[in-house]
A and B are shown apart, each in its own frame.
Chain A
Amino acid sequence: MSNESETLKDNLVTHHKGTHAKISFVEGKSVAVVEATSTYIPIEEFKKIFSEIGKLVDSKKITKLIFDKRKLTVFHQPSMEWYFTEWKEQMWHKGLKTHRKILPDNKVFQQSVKIGREKIKEEHPKLKFNEMDIQYKNTVQDAIDN
């Protein structure tokens, strides 16, 4: 399920459409949404997408990022490591401290995310992401509102 089928109270403005993901921002709010549009995002594309979000964080002063992973079926630990240890750290210093995630309805994927995150936490206990407000939500609207 993608957020296209959801009815949103807020207006999402498309900022960038990549081959594997789409970036939008919420009109009138400092919230950005990145939506996976394929079952897997290669690490090279993943880094491109998040560098594009970095630009949006600068220009729109984004403080909350919603990562809609519902289309994904494969979890890639090296991408997650880069995302947590490099990208999120840089963004923390720019004011992006709130992260909302929407996971696919796939137990193996969900469990892998959990294990992967714990692994990164164990290996990097001093990183800022341990202090970030990270929550899992079921819908984009819920993620925008809470």
Chain B
Amino acid sequence: MPKISIEELKIELEKSKKEIVLLNSKYEVQVGELKKEVSYLKEQLMAQQDMLKMAVDYADKLGKELKNLKKRIDSGNFQSIH
């Protein structure tokens, strides 16, 4: 095994430290991006849920209006506007 001087070891150590700092910052950026992506996905899912609820509520409302209309027609108490 070749002999390594203390000076060379110090240089190697410094290089490793710099690499760790770089990797750490890259990791932080990636985690940040991932967190942002997850929060976007969460927002999208909630929006999707709200959108479907809105459509279901509207369909329910239409269903009730149709039922009422049918009742009025069946009872003979219905006047067409035409």
Q: Chain A residues in contact with chain B, CB under 8 A?
A: 39-40, 42-43, 73-77, 108-109, 111-112, 115-116
Closest 9 CB pairs of A and B: A76-B47, A40-B44, A42-B40, A112-B51, A75-B51, A74-B47, A74-B48, A108-B55, A112-B54
Contact flag A40-B47 (CB < 8 Å), given A111-B58, A115-B58: yes
- A-B pairs with CB below 8 Å: how many? 39
Taking a contact as CB atoms under 8 Å apart, the answer to whether B43 and A43 are in contact is yes
Taking a contact as CB atoms under 8 Å apart, the answer to whether A77 and B50 are in contact is yes
Contacts of A73 on B, CB cut-off 8 Å?
A: 48
Residue of B nearest to A42 (CB): B40
Residue of B nearest to A39 (CB): B44
Contact with A along B26-46 (1 / 0, CB 8 A): 000000000000011001100
Q: Nearest Cβ distance between residue A119 and chain B, in whole angstroms?
A: 9
The CA of A111 and the CA of B51, in the complex, are separated in Å by 9
Contacts of B22 on A, CB cut-off 8 Å?
A: none
Q: Nearest Cβ distance between residue B39 and chain A, in whole angstroms?
A: 8
Instruction: Say if the beta carbon of B52 comes within 8 Å of chain A.
Output: yes
Contacts of B47 on A, CB cut-off 8 Å?
A: 40, 74-77
Q: Nearest Cβ distance between residue B35 and chain A, in whole angstroms?
A: 13
Contact flag A111-B43 (CB < 8 Å), given A74-B48, A77-B50: no
The CA of A144 and the CA of B9, in the complex, are separated in Å by 68
Contact with A along B4-31 (1 / 0, CB 8 A): 0000000000000000000000000000
- By CB atoms of chain A within 10 A, which of B47, B48, B50 has the most? B47
Contacts of A111 on B, CB cut-off 8 Å?
A: 54-55, 58
Q: Nearest Cβ distance between residue A111 and chain B, in whole angstroms?
A: 6
Contacts of B55 on A, CB cut-off 8 Å?
A: 108, 111-112, 115
The CA of A77 and the CA of B51, in the complex, are separated in Å by 8
25 contacts between A and B (CB under 8 A): A39-B44, A40-B40, A40-B43, A40-B44, A40-B47, A42-B39, A42-B40, A42-B43, A42-B44, A73-B48, A74-B44, A74-B47, A74-B51, A75-B51, A76-B43, A76-B50, A108-B51, A108-B52, A108-B55, A109-B51, A111-B54, A112-B51, A112-B54, A112-B55, A115-B55
